[in-house]
Chain A
Amino acid sequence: MNELINAVSQCVDESCTSCTERTCISGAEILVCSLLRQGVRIIFGFPGGSVIPVYDVLYDTTEIQHVLVRHEQGATHAADGYARATGRAGVVIVTSGPGAANTVTGIANAYMDSIPMVVFAGQVASSSIGKESFQEADILGVTRSITKHNFQLRDVRDVAEVVHKAFFIAESGRPGPVLVELPVDVMKAKCQMTANSVDVSVKGYNPQPESGMEDIILAADALNRAEKPVIYAGGGVISSGAWEELLKIAEKLDAPVTTTLLGIGSFPEDHRLSLGMLGMHGTWFANMAVTEADTLLAVGARFDDRVTGLAEQFAPEARIIHIDIDPTCIDRTVAPEISIVGDARRMLSRLMPMLQDKTNSQWFSRIQQWKKDHPVYRKTGTEKGVSAQDIILQVSDMTSDNTIICTDVGQNQMWAAQNYVFKNPRTLITSGGLGTMGFGLPSALGASFGQPDRKVIAITGDGGFQMTVSELATASQYNVPVIIVMLNNGFLGMVRQWQQLFYEKRYSSTEIGSSNPDFVNLAESYGVNAVRVQTESDFTQQFSKALSMEGPMLIEVVINKEDNVFPMVPGGKPLSEMIEKE
């Protein structure tokens, strides 16, 4: 088998199947050979009974590094982080039943954020399916609505083809997760492997739907007439690699750019035209610019409720142009005047030559005045705790532009999004659509495996951190150079904030500080360096030290207990009705 794996991994012709056609090999061997053909070199997983045949092949396969996580949810988040950092599908292998069920949150997370991922889930033997066998779960049924597609292998002769289809579907069009179920008998059965990774086609699947030129001409005309344009860029700009086109179009039109949470990094935030993030916790000036814009160009974004606030009053003055590769995203919550279906990069490239060089000095001056009068809200530290915003600013100042920031979910996530100055795509990795607490640490591990030459920082809170804290063992085992900045306020902070603002400070089940562990001791027990800081100067010193370390490090920062994220648009209100500060 070693010889075969070597031959497959070294063969440069992707259409070649000569090595694998020579002899009958097992389904597990075909699976691993197909993964090599797909260029997979890292898998995140956790073994179990039904996938032992696959793990047995991986045992000899030095070309693929298997990263042993400590919980299957961690595997999916790590694969997710890997995919966001690299642009390629993250790969997960787990066992049947509980192993597969534990991936559900991570798969749903990837689905909501359009992240390419291929999950291989074990399954009981074909003859035992449907008989309530040990560690059996109908994972196809469970994941049907949270995957782009899923497959159950029923014949060893289909293994290679299905693997290649899975990667094709996951990575093409609007990306997303694909699950492949591996019944153990199919993994043990043998046949010759003939399918290659080149000749993949999926009947009825059109990953690149495109509008005609007439819609692009209409959009160009609207944009050329605009006096108060705004560009609203989402994660689709990053997944399609359209950031250069976005920058050129913004400069050509002299149009300010606001991004969604997932669009952060698609436009440099130190650029004169940057408005930062919009939406519930967007900047004051981004939300007001959208509210007053006469023309709004939405690219690779889906008018999510956290972005629009009250959808009926979103961009009320604007002619809306919506570019998206997924036609179901168009006219779902906000009806555009002009809709363009297609890949963001291709569509922007077609639009660009039709646009005039514009200057919108009055509009620009108005926005500059807003920026001056309503800057990003920051609260300073007190003797009881430091300011989380100041910590993020320090992280931003002390790290290079290609540093990858992975966040958890909640206040820590919003403070990071608001205060770190992102300048490059694929530098913010965060759970947007699903809002999955526990995402921060494992996604940072995945990002670091994907981009080993870049610094990766996990920004998390004491709540989310504990949801996947067992991945400290993974960080320790592989000596992953991730710096974990844990903002500890002893609360499930974002829920507490809502309780403070809208439920008369009735902090129902959000206080966790009294029962939190000693995080420094906890991390050290896993073999991870850790330190607790209570002042900004201590943080600067410890963070500087962490930046030069080769392994993982946890910095627990004791922050103000009841600091809030502002601005905030209360649920169901239009963007213009922000609570600006305390």
Chain B
Amino acid sequence: MKVFSVKAEDTHDSMARITNFLTAKGFSVKSMAVGQAEEEGTTRITIAADIDDREARQMYHGLDKLISVVSVTHLNKVSTVIRQLVLLKVTCYGKKTHSVTDLVSEWGGKVLSDDSRTVVCELMEAKNSIVDIVSTLKRYGTVEVAQSGLVAL
């Protein structure tokens, strides 16, 4: 997985330009996370893509070429911290929420609400193990997932 941090002008069409480029070149993007950057008028977009080194060079230069993009950093090449916020809602079969809350604690997560039938919790994921987590929780009820996408610096 290659991770890029893109700083772009915070205009109405910056994201469209970036996604348009990624689509046009056929890159397999796994995650995008967008938020305001430290400098007013700029946005930071973290892009994670399942691509090889050659494609990574093409993606880097292609993003850098976009006029709306101020800078691009290939984060795999520098010391990087990667995080992802995962929200999980488990609607349990019967009253099994305690089993779910125990598991969430075991995984280092935090229970945000628990009304004895539905549990909402948050997890901070550095790696993409969400498939295993969901698989485990499905034994206790129906599971809904929302992920922030990878953010990295």
Contact = CB atoms under 8 A, between A and B. Distances in A.
Interface of A: 140-141, 144-145, 148-149, 169, 202-205, 326-328, 331-332, 335
Contact of B20 (A145, A149, A204, A328): A145
Contacts of B71: 204
Given A149-B67, A203-B9, A327 B24 contact: no
Contacts of A327: 61, 64-65
Given A169-B67, A203-B70, A204-B70, A144 B16 contact: yes
Given A145-B24, A148-B67, A327-B65, 16 more contacts: A144-B16, A144-B17, A145-B20, A145-B21, A169-B67, A202-B67, A203-B70, A204-B8, A204-B71, A327-B64, A328-B58, A328-B65, A331-B54, A331-B58, A332-B58, A335-B54
Given A144-B17, A149-B67, A169-B67, A331 B24 contact: no
A162 to B, nearest CB: 12
A204 B68 contact: yes
Contacts of B20: 144-145
A524 to B, nearest CB: 45
B62 interface: yes
Contacts of B57: 331
Given A141-B16, A144-B16, A204-B9, A328 B61 contact: yes
A202 B66 CA distance: 11
19 contacts: A144-B16, A144-B17, A145-B20, A145-B24, A148-B67, A149-B67, A149-B68, A169-B67, A202-B67, A204-B9, A204-B67, A204-B71, A326-B65, A327-B65, A328-B58, A328-B65, A331-B57, A331-B58, A335-B54
B89 to A, nearest CB: 34
A126 to B, nearest CB: 13
A243 B151 CA distance: 47
A364 B64 CA distance: 42
Contact of A205 (B54, B58, B67): B67
B100 interface: no
A204 B11 CA distance: 14
Contacts, number: 37
Most buried by B among A149, A202, A327, A335: A327
Contacts of B68: 149, 204
Contacts of B21: 145
| B-side interface mostly | helix
A204 B69 contact: yes
Interface string B10-27: 000100110011001000
B70 to A, nearest CB: 4
Contacts of B69: 204
B18 to A, nearest CB: 10
Interface in B33-78: 54, 57-58, 61-62, 64-65, 67-71
A335 B57 CA distance: 12
Contacts of B54: 331, 335
A331 B58 CA distance: 8
A145 B71 CA distance: 20
Nearest to B70: A204
B9 A140 contact: no
Interface in B60-104: 61-62, 64-65, 67-71
A331 B57 CA distance: 9
Interface in B135-153: none
Contacts of A332: 58
Contacts of A328: 58, 61-62, 65
Contacts of B9: 203-204
A346 B109 CA distance: 57
Contacts of A202: 67
Contacts of A204: 8-9, 67-71
B27 to A, nearest CB: 12
Contacts of B65: 326-328
Nearest to A204: B70
Nearest to B7: A204
Contacts of B67: 148-149, 169, 202, 204-205
A148 B65 CA distance: 9
A140 B13 contact: yes
Contacts of B17: 144
A328 B24 CA distance: 14
A13 to B, nearest CB: 28
Nearest to A144: B20
A177 to B, nearest CB: 13
A13 B13 CA distance: 35
| For the complex of A and B, 6 pairs with smallest distance between CB atoms | A204-B70, A327-B61, A149-B67, A328-B61, A145-B24, A144-B20
A142 to B, nearest CB: 11
A202 B20 CA distance: 21
B114 to A, nearest CB: 43
A145 B58 CA distance: 16
Contacts of A144: 13, 16-17, 20
A242 to B, nearest CB: 21
Contacts of A145: 20-21, 24
A32 to B, nearest CB: 25
Nearest to A152: B13
A561 to B, nearest CB: 40
A296 B16 CA distance: 39
Contacts of B70: 203-204
Contacts of B16: 141, 144
B62 to A, nearest CB: 5
A338 to B, nearest CB: 15
A16 B68 CA distance: 29
Q: Which residue of A141, A144, A202 has the most chain B CB atoms within 10 A of its CB atom?
A: A144
Nearest to B53: A331
A417 to B, nearest CB: 29
Counting chain B CB atoms within 10 Å of each CB, which of A148, A326, A328 scores highest?
A328
Nearest to B72: A204
A145 B65 CA distance: 12
Nearest to B20: A144
Contacts of A205: 67
Nearest to A149: B67
A144 B71 CA distance: 20
A205 B67 CA distance: 6
Nearest to B60: A327
Contacts of B13: 140, 144
A175 to B, nearest CB: 13
A312 to B, nearest CB: 14
A327 B62 CA distance: 8
Interface string B115-150: 000000000000000000000000000000000000
A261 B46 CA distance: 40
Contacts of A331: 54, 57-58
